[in-house]
Structure 1
Amino acid sequence: MKNFNTVGARLFAAALLTVVPAVSALAQMRCEFKPNAPDQHVVVKGDTLWDISGTFLEKPWCWPQVWGMNREEIANPHWIYPGQIIWFDRKAGRLRLGNRVGGDGSGGAGDPSTLRLSPQLRMQGLGKDAVTSIPSGVIEPFLTEPLIIEGDELKDAPRIIATQENHVFIGKGDKAYVRGKLNGGTSFQVFRPGKPLRDPVTRAVVAQEAFYLGTLKLQKEAEPGTDVHTFVVASAKEEMGKGDLLMQAPPMPMQNYVPHPPEVAVEARVLAIYNGVTHAGQNQVVSINRGKLDGLDVGSVLQLYHRGQTVTDPGASKGWHNLGQPKVKLPDEEVGSLFIFRVFKHVSYGLIMQVTEPVEVGDVAKTAE
C-alpha cells in the first residue's frame, strides 16, 4: 500500500514547545536535495516547515542543517511567514529566505522583486502568523493531558471522595469533594487509570494509560482539622465521579518544534496507537517504549520500520545429522518517519510524518542510518 494518509497534511495549532536540538548530531547527518528540487517556493498560509523542506530535501527533517541555522535561530524559529519566498541556492547547497518587495514576484535567480535574506527573528506579531514546523493540530490534546502514568506517579494523588448531592457523575459547574495533598495547586486535571502498556519485546509493563476526564478548580481549601477540599468542575470532556484521581495541570507549552536526530542511537518499538485503530497512517499519534532516560527529547526524529520476519530457508543444507531448516531473519523495511513531540521517562509520543505502509504495534522506530 502506498501513500497511506488518514488526516490532512496541513494543520495549525495554538500550542507548541520551543527546544534546542542536538546540533552536533545534526551536523553529522548528510542531507541531500531532491534531484528535481524546484528553484523556489512561495510560502502560503497552511504550509509547514516540514512540507516546505520536503519540497526540496530527501529527508525533510534535515532542514535546520541546510538553512545553516545557528543555536539562537534554532531556539527561536519564528522566521518564516506567508508571502515570503524560499529559494534554492544550488551553488552553496543551502536554502535561503527572501521577501517580496515588488515586481511580478517570480522570485527567480537575479529577480529584483526578491530581497534575499538569511533566517531572522520577526519582532512584531511573533508566532501569530509564523509557519509552524509540523502539522500539529492533531497533537494538541497530547501536549497538556496526562495520558501516560509511569512508576509511582499515582501514589498519594488527590482523589474525588464525594460529589454534589451524591450524583454518580458530575459535569461543568458541579462541586466535587477531594481528599489529598494539593501541594499549593489550585488547578487540576482529572483522570482515570486505564490499561497497562507492555513492552512488545519484554512484555513488562512500562507505563499505564490514563483517560483524561476534565479539569477542576479549587473553590475552598480544607479547614483546619480536616483534609477535604471543595472543588468546582471547570471543564468536562468525559463524565467524572467518585474515585477519579487528580493531577496538577501542566503549564501551556510555547511554540515551536525543531526536528533533529537524537544525541545517541535509539531503537524503540511502537507501544500503542491512538484514536481506537489498529493501524496508523500519516498524522496519527503513537507511543513508543523509549523516553528521556533513553536519549530522546522533544523534536527527535526516528525512522519507522516493519520488523523483518524470521523465515526458513528450504534450499539450505545443514547436513544429515541436523533436523529442520535454518532460520533467517529478513531485513527491516522502512515505512516512514516519526516526530517525537512529548517525552516521559521511559515512553514518548510521536507524530507519524511520512508513511508508505500502515504502522502497527511492535514496529521499529530507530535513529536514521
Structure 2
Amino acid sequence: MNAVFSFARFSAVLIKEFIQMRRDRVTFAMMIGLPIVQLMLFGFAINADPRHLPTLIELGDNGPITRAVIAGMQNSDYFDFQGVVGGEASGNEALRRGSANFVVVIPQNFERDVVRGHRPEVLLDADASDPSAVGGAAGALGGIVQVAISETFSGPLAGIVPPPPPFSVIVHRQYNPEGKTSTNIVPGLLAIILSMTMVMITAVAIVKESERGTMEMLIATPVRPLEVMLGKILPYVMVGYVQTIVFLTAAYLVFEVPFQGSALAFFMGFNLFIVVNLALGFLISTAARSQMQAMQLSFFTILPSILLSGFMFPFAGMPGWAQFLGQGVPATHFLRITRKVMLKSAEIGDIMPEMGALVLTLLVISAVAMLRYRQTLD
C-alpha cells in the first residue's frame, strides 16, 4: 500500500465529485439558490420596524389642527392612510378583517377643545394581535403629533395654545391588550409546523417508494394519477389532526391563547390547508429522485412560509413585491385564518377570502403535480 500522497489520485477523486455534483442538479441548485433567496428575503423583505401600515381615520372634526395631525402622521412613514370610516363599528370591523392596522379617532369639537386648553383625547385603535406592528408606531405617535401641532401654532398663533401638550393620545390595543408575543406567535406557529411536516412527510414517503421499486408496481396497475395522489396524501391527514390537537391543547393550557371564534371555520380552514400542503409534498416527490433531494426541496418551501407569510414580521410592513410573493404562500392564508378565529372571533364568512385563495392554490398545485406524474409514467 502506497502511503505517499498522490496528487493524481487526489485529482481523480476531486474531479469525480465535481462531476457527481453537476449530475445532481437539484442539490447544485439548492447550494446556489438558497443563499440567494436568503439574501433577498433577509435583506429586503424583513423589517423589524414596519412602516406604511394601513390606517383609517374617523373624523369628528376637520379643522387645521386635525389636518396638521394627519399630515404629521403621514410624514412619519409609520401610517399609510387608506380612507375615512363612518363610525366606531366600521373601524372595528376593518381591524377585525385585517384591512387596517390602525384607526385614528378624532373626537367632535376637537379644535375648540384644543384652543380652550381642555386637552381632548385622540384615540388610536390598534390591531395588537401582532405587537411588533403596533409598538414602533404607537411609541412615536406622541412626538409626531406634538411636532405637527407646534408647527401649526407657530408665529402669532403660538400664544393660543397653553404650554402643556394640547391633547393626549390614547392607544387602545385590541385582540392582544397585554402585548404578549406568544398570543401572536403561537396561532401562526401552527401554520409553520403543518407546512414543515406535511410537505416533508409526503415528499419523502413517496420518493422512498420509488427508490424501493414499489412505485413501479403502482405504475403497472390501472390506477389513475388522481387516485394515486389522493390515496397517498389522505392518510397523512390524520397525522395533521394529531399535531393540531396537541398544538391547540398546549396553546390553551400553557400559553393561555384564547379560542374565541367559530370552531367550524377553523376546522374548514385547517383541513383545506393540510390538503394543500400534502399536494405540495406530492408535487415535490415528482421532481425529486432521492429522499435527500425531497428533503432539500421541502426545506426550500419552509423559508417563504416563515418569512413571507406574516408569521415573524407584519405582512403589511413588507415591500410590495414581497407581499405579492407572500400571497402565493399557503401559510399566509392559513395564518390569517388561525389568528382571525382564535383572536378575533371570526366566523365562516370572515375567512372566505382566505379559503378561496387556498382552494386556488390547491387547484394549481394539483394540476401541476398530476401533469408531472403523467410525465413520470411515460
**Bin of the TM-score, shorter chain as denominator length:** under 0.3
Structure (1 or 2) with the greater helix fraction: 2
CA radius of gyration, larger in: 2
* Structure with the bigger percentage of strand: 1
Tell me the TM-score normalized by structure 1. 0.25
TM-score by length of 2: 0.24
